[in-house]
Structure formats: C-alpha cells, structure tokens
Structure 1
Amino acid sequence: MPNDRLRDAILRNGLTPAMVADKIGVDAKTVERWITQDRTPYPRHRHAIAALVREDVPYLWPKAVTPEKAAKIGQSEMVQLYSRRSSVPYELWGRLIERAEKQIDILAYAGLFLVEQDPRLIDTLRQKAAGGAKVRILLGDPSSPAIERKSVEEGATGVMAAKIRQVQQYYNRIDGAPGVTVLYHETTLYNSIYRFDDEMLVNMHVYGFPAPHAPVMHLRRLNGGDLFGTYADSFDRVLSASYPMPRGEVAA
C-alpha cells in the first residue's frame, strides 16, 4: 500500500521525490520506495522530511513512533511550568503573539486579561490575519449554564458573563475580517488554550480558583511528541461545536 500522506505532503509543498532526495541526501529511488511501498525511513530522514513538508512524523508514518516514545518526547515539549497564570511574564505573551505567522488560537471563557494588558492586541490580530495567519477566537456563550456555574464555583455569581460581554466589545471590531473567526461555545472548560504557531500556553483550570491563580504550561511542539497535540486536538473539538453568537446577544 502506498504512503499517500507522504505523497500528498510532498506535492502540496511544490516538491518532487527527486527534489526531496536531493535535499536530504539520498537516492531518488529510495524516496520513491518510501512513497510507493510505504517503507519507513531512518529516524534522521523522517525528521528531515517532516521538517521539509511541514508535517508531523506520526502523521506521515503512524507506525514509526510508539506511544511510549511519543510520551517521552512529549515530556520535552514542556518549556516551563508556571504555578499561576499571573506569574507568566508579560513579555512572553507579547513575544508569542508577535512571532506568530501562521496561526493564533484562543480558547477561553473570556480571556479579558489579554486585551487589558495589551491595548494594541486587536490591531495586532487584524494585522496578523491580513498577513495570512489564521486567527480563531473561541469565547464562552455568556447565556450558557456552564458560564454561570463557573462564576458560582469561583464565588462571583454573574461575573464571568459580564467579562465575556465586556471582551466581546473588543473582538466585535475584527469579527468577520478576512482570516479572523470569532465563535462561542458552551463547553465545560478544563483548560484555556492559547496557541501561537508551534508554541502554546495552557491555563489549567482548578476548581474554586479563578484562572489567574491556576497553573500554566508553556509548550513547544516537537515532531513525534503527543503533549502539544493533545491540547491542539482539544481546541479543534471545541471549535467543531462552536457557533456564531446570535445577533440579539452580541454586545453593543
């Protein structure tokens, strides 16, 4: 059976098997066998090709990385663990946002702190999207039971919905702009996820504690790791169930 994923990735990047062979230093017939006979390259060649076609090793060769190996690599994906979100340096948020070129994903209930600590954030997101990046914002639906439950658990009834309506006023300015998607969800949120290309900050929610007082993991994606991918998949699952806010609910 041919490796159609590898074939598609090579073609999608404007390459040919001969070009790939030349770039990684192997014979062109070897690359053809990797494609047509689904042979698995040596690890050094797998990583070189994955970087060349901008795909993960496990995607191109699902059987090449065992779960145990993926878990071990995943441990190296954690750059830093912060005991609380308020300990994450402001400069780190700014650096991650500024460096992002392909993708900015925000999954939160409100995430109001982002626009409060950087008044230029909305303009920056608009510029990133205009430059070709995908900007996807997923906010909690302020009318959903999950939002009220979260406020009650934190001992501040009604506060979360108010924060969401406040942050809506910022994101309404770019909602519908080319490359920008603003949607709403009613998920019971276990983590807030902030992705910037291949780096991510995961704010792990703790029962009874506001998000600023809960831990944050700084992750950097590694080929073959599974930790970053776990949270990226979680974002995609919430995205698939998210929806536009009905016009009558949108803050003025």
Structure 2
Amino acid sequence: MNERLRSALVQRGLTVDEVAEACSVDPKTASRWVSGRVPHRRHRWAVANLLRMDETYLWPEAGQKTSRLGSAQSEIADTYPNRASVPRDLWISLLAGAMKQVDVLVFSGTFFAQTNPHIARMLQERAQAGVRVRLCFGDPTGDAVRIRGHEEGIGDTLAAKIRASLTYYRPLVGYPGCEVRLHDTTLYNSLFRYDDHLLVNPHIWGQPASANPLLQLRRTANAEWFDRYDESFEAVWKTARHWAPDNAESKEHRRSGQD
C-alpha cells in the first residue's frame, strides 16, 4: 500500500476514479497505484500535479533511480522526440492543476485548442480560482509570422492558422484574470508554463513546431534553465500588443473591401 498517496487523496478529497479520469487511465490502474504499483513517469507527474505534491514524496523509490537525464532533482523531467508525442493527458492535467499562473507563448498554437475543445472554459475556471492566465500568439499581420511561414514553406497559411486559433479564445477577452496578446518577435521556442512546470518546444528551421522536440522542465532550487526560459517569456510579453478582436476584424474587413 502506498500510504503517502492514499493519505494525499484523502486530504485533497479525491477518489481513485477522479485520479483515473485526470490521467486518462482505467480506474483499476489507478487503484493499483494506491496498492503500491509505481506508475509510468508521465502518470507520476500527472498525479503529483493533480495533488500539488512532489513526485519524489509520493514515490520515493522512483526518485532514487537514476534516469538517462541524470538525478531525479534535475530540471529536465522528461523529453519527447516531438511535440505530437506528448500525451494529451499531460497537457490537461498540468492545466487543471495550475494554481498560480498559466503562460503560453506560441505562433498559432492550433493544437492547444484542437486537442482540448474545452480550453477556453478551463482557462476561465483557472482564472476564477485565482490563476493568472497569459496567452501570447504571433501577430498574423507581423513580419515574424510572414518570415516563419516562408521558412516552413506554407506562406500565408501560418497567419490564417493564427486567426483560426484565436477564435477559440474570444471568450477570454476582457475576462478577469485572463489576457491575450500578439507578438511580432522571432520565436525560438514555444513555451507552456503551468506554475513550476514548463514545457519548452524548440523551433527547428523550416519544420513545424509539432515535429520538433519538447523538453519538460520543473523548477528546482537551482533552476537556471527554467528561469532563463521564463525570462524570455516575460521579455516577449512586454513587447506584445493587446488583442482586440473586434478592432482587428474591422480592419481586416475594411482592407478586403479596398482590395
């Protein structure tokens, strides 16, 4: 019996079925975790994030093992060969477990909404719980998006993808605790921060973000990587402009009427 996990569930008022749903596994699987079986790494992270506890506290035996990335205290919690291989339940569990802030920096981030049709509602719920939500997309009229589209060989399609992606977030405009901005900067990485968890998706020249590697970082006492990526988000955020969809759509409409 994993007494620490069982105790944590009781303290948080969560059932095994709720844990199973958050991790997208069968309730019998989650029940085995309470009985003492050690989950896979991605599930340990999902449960620890859901319970807002340290993974190594819940599964100290797993934390004692040395992984290919070094000790369990490393900032690098996991790596993925491409963003498309990141489990959907990881994205959802990190978002659902955020208690302080959710920061997203992308060009289009189309997958972010398409893999979670309730993304706007979930972000609103996090904001209601006191979480600061900041989403930063590429400016579809900016030079950076034009250049990136050219590099990927898709031309104006990237700008169109951004406009399509933004439609999912209209409910967040003016919503307390939520802010959406547009940036016109060279984007070397897409960033997704959930409190002390950070997913970094480096951009390889000419390749779409979904085909590029992804690093899963966690903030530690000496979080040099985490802090540097966090600083880059703040730098871009300061230069980005507020998204006013009605004004932007009006300008696009007038422009198309003149053409």
TM-score (norm: length of structure 2) = 0.67
| Residues 93-242 of structure 1 aligned to structure 2 (within 5 Å) | 93-242=91-240
Which runs of at least 4 in structure 1 moved beyond 2 Å after TM superposition? 72-75, 245-248
Greater shift after overlay, 72-81 or 156-165? 72-81
User: Aligned residue for 1:18?
Assistant: none
What do the CA deviations read for 1:66-92 (whole angstroms, capped 9, x no partner)?
xxxxxx999810001111101111111
Distance (whole Å) between structure 2 residues aligned to residue 225 and residue 238 of structure 1? 20
Between the aligned partners of 1:135 and 1:73, the Cα distance in structure 2 is 32
Counterpart contact for 1:141–1:245, Cα < 8 Å:
no
Structure 1: give runs of 5+ residues left out of the alignment: 1-71
The match for 1:248 is 247
Structure with larger RCO (C-alpha < 8 A, sep 6+): 1
How far, CA to CA, are the matches of 1:87 and 1:224 in structure 2? 28
CA deviations on 1:42-84 (whole Å, 9 max, x unpaired) are: xxxxxxxxxxxxxxxxxxxxxxxxxxxxxx9998100011111
Query: What SS class does the counterpart of residue 76 from structure 1 fall into?
Result: coil
- My pick for the range that moved more, 164-173 or 122-131, is 164-173
d(CA) in 2 for partners of 1:234 and 1:82? 22
How far apart, in 2, do the equivalents of 1:202 and 1:190 lie? 10
Q: CA RMSD in A?
A: 1.9
Please state how far the C-alpha of 1:149 moved relative to its aligned partner. Answer: 0.9
TM-superposed CA distance for 1:224, in Å, is 2.0
TM-score (norm 1): 0.69
CA deviations on 1:92-143 (whole Å, 9 max, x unpaired) are: 1111111111100000011010110000111000010011000000011000
| Aligned counterparts, 1:77-96, within 5 A | 77-96=75-94
For the 8 Å contact 1:73–1:225, the answer to whether it is kept is: no
What code does the residue aligned with 1:161 have?
Answer: A
How far residue 245 of structure 1 moved from its aligned partner, in angstroms, is 3.2
Could you give the per-residue CA deviations for residues 161-197 of structure 1, whole angstroms, max 9, x where no partner exists?
A: 0011001111111111000010110010000000000
Aligned length: 181
Kindly indicate whether the alpha-carbon contact (under 8 Å) linking 2:106 and 2:136 is maintained by their aligned counterparts in 1.
Answer: yes
In structure 1, what is the equivalent of residue 23 of structure 2?
Answer: none
Distance 2:171 2:221 in 1: 36
In 1, Cα distance between the equivalents of 2:226 and 2:212? 19
Amino acid of the residue matched to residue 206 of structure 2? G
Q: Give the Cα–Cα distance (whole angstroms) in 2 for the partners of residues 222 and 73 of structure 1.
A: 12
Rg (Cα) greater in structure: 1
Identity of aligned residues (%): 38
Asked if the contact 2:145–2:158 (Cα under 8 Å) also holds between the matched residues in 1, the reply is yes
Q: What is the SS of the residue equivalent to 1:105?
A: strand
